[in-house]
Amino acid sequence: MKVKTTAVVLMSLTLLMTACTTGSKEAAPSTVPSQTKDTQGAAKDDPFSKFTQPITLSLGKAINTKDINLPNGDTVDNNEYFRYIEKKLNVKVKYAWQTETLEAYNQKLSVSIASRDIPDAFIVNEKQMKQLAEADLIADLTNVYQKLASPLVKGYYESYGDRVLNRATINGKLMSLPYTNIGGVHTITWIRQDWLDKLGMKAPKTLDDLATVAKAFIEKDPDGNGQNDTYGLTGSQELSGYNSMNNFSPILGALHAYKGQWMSDKSGNVSYSSILPEMKTALAKLRDLYAAGIIDKQFAIRKDPNELGAAGKLGIVMAPWWGPYGSPLTDSVKNDPKAEWKAYSVPVDADGKFNTFDVDPAAKYLVVRKGYEYPDAVMKVLNVQVQAGRLLDPDAKDIYKGLNIPFYVWPFDLLLDYEDVVFKDHSKLKSAWEAKDPSKLSPAVKIWYDNVKKNDENPKKDIAAWGEAMARMEGSAQYDPANYVIARNVFFGQTKTMEQKKAILDKLENETFLKIILGEEPIDKFDSFVTEWKRLGGDQITKEVEQEVEKQVKK
């Protein structure tokens, strides 16, 4: 690829910096020969080998120092993490520049790109990565990854099949190292088991069952205070979400409806899920549940959707497995130790399946400046950082122990993990618990084991231990792949017309759907919404998404 220095290319890159920091890659030749060499020429195909001479690695990064309490005069660019990297690899990490906010980061990066003076490594989004590759500003990491990525790092990426690394590949060359968004964080249904038991009811399975349980929670005084002050189900104005609380995604999924996703319709065509007939059916159902009082009548205007559950007045909370780590579940137990919560993958569809959608598996991307002499240093730093962050290196296990120093203080704000890590770790924890033998657990999972034990010995006396025990043993158990079906997205990126019109279309969608559910608009308003969505840019976006999907298939 020829180096592009035109003002047009640099201007387009500058404009891109208004986007969030995610991936980037390019088709520049690798600086690593067939056999990786250290600074003195010795063959070193070892993911953790130390350079024989000092290497400097400069970064650009957004890091809010106000939220970090480093001890002993340490700073974000002079701390135990950085010193550990230098000790292990002889790589001295420094900041070419650092900003406090993402907005300032994007501005600074745009200036750096315009002047062609970029750091050795930095984080970008997918569109930025593609533009940087087109401008020939970032390095091909294919050989570096193949030869020097640690088995752990490769294992993380391989758990996603080709859905992550393929996104970082341009013209057959790996142009970045992606961040991974784990799977298994979809919304499930938490139910007050003590209320079910008191009312002599079985756990719901279908959507009608769920409505029946919610109605009983409202009408049959499950808290036994003689007052009509309990609720079945609440939500939030977002209506649907992934890895978020108080949304109606489980209800939508039971009707094969998914909000805001790009999927294949029944005919195999690329379609925007919010405009499909299944969504109209789902909105009609939510409208009926709201009209019947099954859904909290105030859900759309509550400032805090957790307030009912925290006060012990709510019987059903829709949240991911980690719900017990915080309000409303933990607060309900604080206020009433008799409260018992249980997780369920409900409601199911007519075939008995619990349906959900997936999340973008590659959120952002680590890129390396083309011309940086030691791209292998970037790979090795990532290897060491991941190993230490997982407490797998004894030399790192006591660094900042107990101080809650955030992960992003490490050089790269790049989390990696197995796609199915939630259930994988649950299975390990459960096996160890049943055997009463934690000796084979990783240090991180051993901490969970200790909290499960603490809660088992003194139930609910330590709310933090209760929350971890419930999340890791109860909630995570629902993420057995046998418990759910994933409706896969075919596209996660952003097209040209999306950049211009997505905000308008999203506003139209959210306002229309909420008004339909609240009864402020008739259900047939959905049809005019679809027409308007297409007219305002939806049709053009769909064409662009189809083109992008075709490109992905040809990779």
Element (H, E) at 282: helix 277-291
Measured CA to CA, the distance from residue 428 to residue 33 in angstroms comes to 40
Where are the chain's structural domains? Answer: 7-181+363-409, 188-358+488-554
Residue 91's pLDDT band (boundaries 50, 70, 90)? Answer: very high
Q: Which residues are paired to 507 by β-bridges?
A: none
Confidence check: pLDDT of 141 > 50: yes
* Spatial contact of 178 and 165, defined as CB atoms under 8 Å apart: yes
Both tokens of 360, joined, read 């973008």
- Closest C-alpha to 495, from 529, 539, 530: 539
Confidence check: pLDDT of 441 > 70: yes
> What strands lie across the sheet with 177-178, from one edge to the other?
91-99, 55-62, 121-124, 365-368, 177-178
Confidence check: pLDDT of 234 > 90: yes
The alpha carbon of residue 336 and the mean position of all alpha carbons in its chain are separated, in whole angstroms, by 32
Cα–Cα distance list, 168 to 215, 324, 419 (Å): 49, 35, 17
Q: b/e for 526-539, b at 16 or more Cβ within 10 A?
A: beebbeebbeebbe
pTM for this predicted structure: 0.88
129: helix, coil or strand?
helix
Q: What percent of the chain has pLDDT over 90?
A: 85
Cα–Cα distance list, 281 to 278, 403, 410, 414, 523 (Å): 5, 50, 47, 40, 9
Residue-level pLDDT at 314: 97
Measured CA to CA, the distance from residue 407 to residue 395 in angstroms comes to 17
Residue 2's pLDDT band (boundaries 50, 70, 90)? Answer: very low
Confidence check: pLDDT of 457 > 60: yes
41-55, 242-256, 395-409, 470-484: which has the minimum mean pLDDT?
Answer: 41-55
End-to-end CA separation in angstroms for the chain: 17
Mean pLDDT confidence for 357-367: 94
Hey, which bits of 320-359 come out as E strands? 341-344, 355-357
Measured CA to CA, the distance from residue 332 to residue 314 in angstroms comes to 9
Measured CA to CA, the distance from residue 460 to residue 192 in angstroms comes to 15
The answer to whether 7-181+363-409 and 188-358+488-554 have equal CATH topology is: yes
Residue-level pLDDT at 444: 87
Residue-level pLDDT at 553: 72
Residue reference for tokens 């957004």:
62
* Spatial contact of 6 and 348, defined as CB atoms under 8 Å apart: no
Both tokens of 533, joined, read 């969505």
Confidence check: pLDDT of 37 > 90: no
Residue 16's pLDDT band (boundaries 50, 70, 90)? Answer: very low
Both tokens of 551, joined, read 């490109």
Name all contacts of 153-157 with Cβ < 8 Å and 24+ positions apart.
153/47, 153/382, 153/383, 153/386, 153/416, 155/418, 156/180, 156/386, 156/416, 156/417, 156/418, 157/416
Residue 266's pLDDT band (boundaries 50, 70, 90)? Answer: confident
Task: Read off the pLDDT of residues 523-550 as tens digits, 9 standing for 90 and up.
Answer: 999 999 999 999 999 999 999 999 999 8
* Spatial contact of 283 and 513, defined as CB atoms under 8 Å apart: yes
Task: Read off the pLDDT of residues 422-440 as tens digits, 9 standing for 90 and up.
Answer: 999 999 999 999 999 999 9
- Closest C-alpha to 195, from 225, 216, 212, 226: 216
Measured CA to CA, the distance from residue 41 to residue 35 in angstroms comes to 10
Residue-level pLDDT at 25: 31
Residue-level pLDDT at 516: 98
Confidence check: pLDDT of 555 > 80: no
Task: Read off the pLDDT of residues 291-335 as tens digits, 9 standing for 90 and up.
Answer: 999 999 999 999 999 999 999 999 999 999 999 999 999 999 999
Residues 6+ positions from 317 with CB-CB distance below 8 Å: 189, 190, 245, 246, 309, 323, 328, 329, 341
Q: How many CA atoms lie within 13 A of 514 on its CB side?
A: 18
- Backbone φ/ψ region at 460: left (φ over 0), alpha (ψ -120 to 50), beta: left
Cα–Cα distance list, 326 to 216, 360, 445, 467 (Å): 26, 25, 19, 7
Residue-level pLDDT at 1: 39
Cα–Cα distance list, 248 to 202, 307, 318, 514 (Å): 22, 17, 7, 12
CATH code: domain 188-358+488-554 is 3.40.190.10
Residue-level pLDDT at 397: 87
DSSP label of 348? B
Whether residue 328 is preceded by a cis peptide bond, meaning omega within 30 degrees of 0, is: yes
Residue-level pLDDT at 554: 67
Residue reference for tokens 């900042």:
400
Measured CA to CA, the distance from residue 550 to residue 555 in angstroms comes to 9
Give the chain's mean pLDDT.
91
Residue reference for tokens 């949240």:
319
Q: What is the domain class of 7-181+363-409 according to CATH?
A: alpha beta
**Rg of the chain, C-alpha, whole Å:** 25
